Structure 1
Amino acid sequence: MCPLISLNNCTVTRNGSRLVGPVSLTIERGKHLALIGANGSGKTTLLRLLRGEFPPDGGGIRLYDFGEGEQSSALGLRHRIGLVSAELQEYYTLHAPRTSGRSIILAGFFDTPLLYSTPSPEQEAQADAIINTLGIHDLADADLGTLSTGQMRKLVIARALAPRPDVLLLDESMEGLDAASREEVRSLLDKAGNISTLVCAAHRIGDVPETIKQTVVIEGGTVVVSGSRQHIVDHLGERRMELMACDLPDRQLRDTYDFLLRLRHCSVVVGGTRILHDINWTVLPGENWLVLGANGAGKSTLLKLITSEVAPYADDDDGIGTVERLGGLTVDEARPRIGVVSPALQINYARELAWEVTALETVLSGYRGSVGMLDQPTDEELEGARKWLKHVGLDHLSERPLRRLSYGQQRRVFLARAMAPAPALLLLDEPMTGLDAASRGVLLGLLQQLAESGVPIIMVTHHAEDRIPAINRVMTIENGRQAFVGTLEEYEKSASH
């Protein structure tokens, strides 16, 4: 049987830099494949090469054969090769907040981001079948702008599955999903393996569905080892990451505050839907908080409330809620003293600056709490920004535009941006999303150092294992309401019962 897709000695070069190759790879029907590699290893570029979005450089051979004979171009085959990617999800967040979930699922039949054609009755029925399988009727009826990252991911997966492609390419498909959602998606992909041949790119082998038995490791755009899952686990277990030996950059002393945050009777309504219900929460000096909750629980909206991206809703019973920051500073006074890492911030950069700013400029903007550079940085700020880029392992990419960095590398740049100004409070919204295991380990270590140096941290996540040892307070949110607020010890006792 001929391979569905074959690569023979293929390379991909862009702007004078080789991104992939030389690589030889075959995708055979029913033989699912996992691509494991760190951020920037070339996984995403390899998927785009497989799908036909990038041509191979001269000398390489790429062939497709879906039963109608071999061809070297993907022209006319895009409906046979589905794709799930963070970039597509970001497109919807940026450009289609008022589009319905069902509409983008149907757009998958036409390989267009939005629905420009009238679907046939058969396509409508096929979309309904996927919606039923995933159990996402509520998401299909909702506007995209009201959905969480995890909810959006489910829709993008549904969109890719709806046309029943021969090959389904998955680029970090589990990132941004809570434990329950990951299990749902794994179960779905196990079923999808009976329909499509899966090619799953990930930096955590645990994110690869069990249906996938064959695995290759990608480093520097080439295959360095291949074999069974267990063989790869053994290989990765023997590897050691060279940690950065430099000291944590000096932290300027900040003013002390009687309280860091004080929220009273805060509710938030977005698009007519109440996202948060009567939140009462005080954060004091010396406290480091872990905020836990499933996708769509309201965690990210809580951080937007703190950063004044959304305002409290005027509740009939409690009036308008209040948000006080850093002992009562105004929003403008508090903004440059609160470091933020969030998917929303990355999206703002994409929307307003089209990713043309460099990694160094992005970190420097953290000193002003702005999107992009507002004025010339001082020599001290330049030195601090470069130190933090070095700490997140990206000093060699300081002059590279954000658009030329991988998603995981972009996230590390935004972590450096938040850390550089020595914030009085650090807000982290799923900070480890998009990072491979080695990068997560380094960044968790840096966050622990920050906490030990006196920077209060609020970490929002659905990965409880991503918490740092300095966490001593926990709040859980369920359906927009506080389900638990207390010490870590109290939380662990309640969770064990």
Structure 2
Amino acid sequence: MNDNLISLKDVRVQDLHGTKIESLDWQMQAGEAWLVIGPNGGGKADFLQALAGEKQFINNKTNKVEDTIFEKSAETVSLERAALLIQEERDLDESEYIDKIDEGRSGRRFICEVLGGPDAKHRHLPLPPIASRLETLPEVKLCGVEKILDRGLKFMSTGEIRRTLLCRALLSGKKLLILSDPFAGLDAQSRSILLEFFQTMVGRQNGGGLNGTSIIMAMERYHEIPQTITNVLEFTDKKISFCGTKAEYEKIVEQRNIQKNANRKSEKEAFLSELSEAQNALSQQNAVSRQNAVSAEQSLVYMNQVNVGWDGHEVLKDFSWEVLPGEHWFIRGPNGSGKTTLLELITGDNKQVFCNDVWLFGQKRGTGESIWDIKKNLGIVSYRLHVEYRMLGGTELENVIISGFHDSIGLYEKKTDMEIAAAKKWLKLAGFEGREHESFGNLSYGEQRAILIIRAAVKSPKIMILDEPCHGLDEQYRQKILDLLETVANSGTTTLLHVTHDPTEVLEAEKHILELCPGEKPMYKIIVKE
């Protein structure tokens, strides 16, 4: 008989701000591989944070804290953790003091922090002896990070950072490893590495485990679920809505999909009607669509023989590209191929734009234009923007949406009645009606991403830059956002530049494909679909 690792009965989840989940019962036995799933804001994140020790399980009868065997010995690998890591690197950046680019911590130094090495604040101290042989460790090979150990964390792609986090967590010796939405933003190779990792680790669990490590996987939607998952725990409306075997859950998912497909047409029509109402209100406010009219001859983006890199590492080489109004682009390529770097040349977040031949909206970068001249024509959804807004945290949702009109992180100008009305319409559109004064920092990661997408769309910009926009979105939000983006693409006023690794998220309107091919010459391909 399997032994219980965790046994929770009639407990609530709470933190300093109050109760998050009123009551739950759950058991986890040795050898089980659990998937925790549920819609954004449904309670899944609260439960996982309690398992990780960030919130508490309180017995409803005794009002005492319920400890688990994982108390203070859990590690989470998630989009949120990756965002915090990037924030740490920014806080530690000393570039302005040392008169050169501060490369920050390398993957090797970061991993060694759990192997007896110095912490982040003492990152200039020598590394422990094990640092020189990290490449030989099975955990490093399992996570596929051998080739990026000496790269700075700030120069890694999102997928590379999360694989590095995974390796560090595995070497930390913690008893519980929580993988939250682990496949989001990963290329095919990284997905394969992660699936192999999960298969191997679950096999070790069943054979007694590696250093006693147990794994729980959390997902926003039932997609790409490893075969080794044995049980599913689903949260909806801050309650457990399913707890049982994977086979039982798949029958429920199948029934839900039949019902969803039957309702899909009417739901989409209702959503598009609401979207049209929101867009009409915006048009009456400031006639942005007329202001954004661009002649067909004028390039929105023009890059000629662009080269970007650092420390001998070439990210973009002899790269030339042109984007015309109405050409919606799907941008693809493996993790680390330069997709985010390319977009940052447009947004102004990469300073190497000034030493290259880059034109935006008919003007060469570095010829007197301000960053605000550029951003007034852009709507941006990116990992970097999400990190910036998470650092503010306490901004009300209404103000987040209105900040899209002013291209600011946070709102520093007096909002008009028209802006408030528009924000409320767009919040209703995204399913946040009545929540306009709620704090951005209190939302789940997926809910935050949905808000940022609405923020980008609100002013009908000339270009919408979408870097993995559906990260962290559950199925309901994801479908709404894809419908929204398709409608924006067909509006004739906004051109989309869309990065995603998920082929199901490519829009019908995206007829132009830019594929980055690192190591090849040329390092990119342009494909136009008929």
> Which TM-score band applies after superposition, normalised by the shorter structure?
0.7 to 0.9
TM-superposed deviation, 1:238 = 2.9
Aligned: 1:438 with 2:479: no
Amino acid at match of 2:186: L
- Aligned partner of 2:336 among 273, 282, 296: 296
User: d(CA) in 2 for partners of 1:212 and 1:113?
Assistant: 35
Query: Structure 2: which amino acid aligns with 1:337?
Result: N
Residue 186 of structure 2 is aligned to residue 177 of structure 1? yes
Find out whether 1:78 has 2:106 as its counterpart: no
- Distance verdict in 2 for CA 1:62–1:447, change over 3 Å: farther
Report the equivalent of 1:30: 31
Map Cα deviations across residues 281-336 of structure 1 (whole Å, 9 max, x no partner): 1111221110011111100111100111113468xxxxx42222223384532311
Tell me, in whole angstroms, the C-alpha distance in 2 between the residues paired with 1:415 and 1:75.
Answer: 40
Aligned residues with identical type, % of pairs: 26
Q: What is the CA distance between 1:203 and its match in structure 2?
A: 1.6
Q: 1:399–1:29: structure 2 CA closer, same or farther, 3 Å change rule?
A: same
Work out whether 1:103 is the aligned partner of 2:109.
yes
Q: How does 1:334-413 map to 2 (within 5 A)?
A: 334-351=374-391, 353=392, 355-413=393-451
Superposition map of 1:24-423 within 5 A: 24-59=25-60, 72-73=66-67, 77-79=71-73, 81-96=74-89, 98-108=104-114, 114=120, 128-193=137-202, 194=204, 195=209, 196-239=213-256, 240=260, 245=271, 246-248=274-276, 249=278, 250=280, 251=283, 252=287, 253=289, 254-257=292-295, 258-270=298-310, 273-312=313-352, 320-328=355-363, 330=369, 331-351=371-391, 353=392, 355-423=393-461
Q: d(CA) in 2 for partners of 1:437 and 1:168?
A: 25
Is 1:450 aligned to 2:488, yes or no?
yes
Pairwise CA RMSD of aligned residues? 2.9
Q: Matches of 2:78 and 2:190 in 1, distance apart?
A: 17
* Cα pair distance change 1:73/1:322, threshold 3 Å: same
Structure 2 contact 56–66 (Cα < 8 Å) conserved: no
Displacement of 1:206 after TM fit?
Answer: 2.5
Match of 1:66 in 2: none
CA–CA separation in structure 2 for the residues paired with 1:168 and 1:60 = 29
Change (3 A) 1:109 1:23: farther
- Residues 154-196 of structure 1: CA deviation (Å, up to 9, x unaligned): 0111111113443322221222212221121111111111133
Structure 2: state its 5+ residue gaps. 91-103
Cα distance in structure 2, aligned partners of 1:309 and 1:163:
34
Q: Report what 2:98 is aligned to.
A: none
Of residues 414-423 and 326-335 in structure 1, the stretch that sits farther from structure 2 once superposed is: 326-335
Moved more, 280-289 or 396-405: 396-405
Task: Give the aligned residue type for 1:99.
Answer: R
Residue number in structure 2 paired with 1:494:
none
Contact residue 108 and residue 163 of structure 1 kept, 8 A: yes
Map Cα deviations across residues 204-262 of structure 1 (whole Å, 9 max, x no partner).
32343221121122112222123333432331233338665423322432222322111
CA distance in 1, matches of 2:126, 2:303: 48
Task: Read off the aligned partner of 1:468 and give its amino acid letter.
Answer: L
Offset, 1:388: 1.6
Structure 1 residues 375 and 311: CA distance shift in structure 2, 3 A: same
Q: Which runs of 5+ in 1 are unaligned?
A: 64-70, 315-319, 490-497
Deviations 1:112-169 (A, max 9, x none): 9848799977899788331122231122221101101000010111111113443322
Query: TM-score by structure 2 length?
Result: 0.82
Q: Secondary structure at the match of 1:427?
A: strand
Following the alignment from structure 1 to structure 2, what is the Cα–Cα distance between the partners of residues 176 and 113?
Answer: 28
2:509 alignment counterpart: 470
Rounded to whole Å, the distance in 2 between the matches of 1:124 and 1:91 is: 27
Compared with structure 1, are the counterparts of its residues 119 and 99 closer, same or farther at alpha carbon in structure 2 (3 Å cutoff)?
closer
Q: How many residues align?
A: 474
Q: Any idea what SS the aligned residue of 1:324 has?
A: strand
CA distance in 2: counterparts of 1:169 and 1:142, whole angstroms: 25
Deviates further, 128-137 or 292-301: 128-137
Preserved contact between residue 131 and residue 140 of structure 1 (Cα < 8 Å): no
Runs of 4+ in 1 over 6 A off after TM superposition: 60-63, 110-113, 115-127
| C-alpha separation in 1, matches of 2:54 and 2:116 | 16
- CA distance in 1 between counterparts of 2:514 and 2:178 reads 36
Q: Please give the alpha-carbon distance, in whole angstroms, between the structure 2 residues aligned to 1:165 and 1:414.
A: 34
Q: Is the 8 A contact 1:475 1:482 kept in 2?
A: no
SS of the counterpart of 1:395?
A: coil
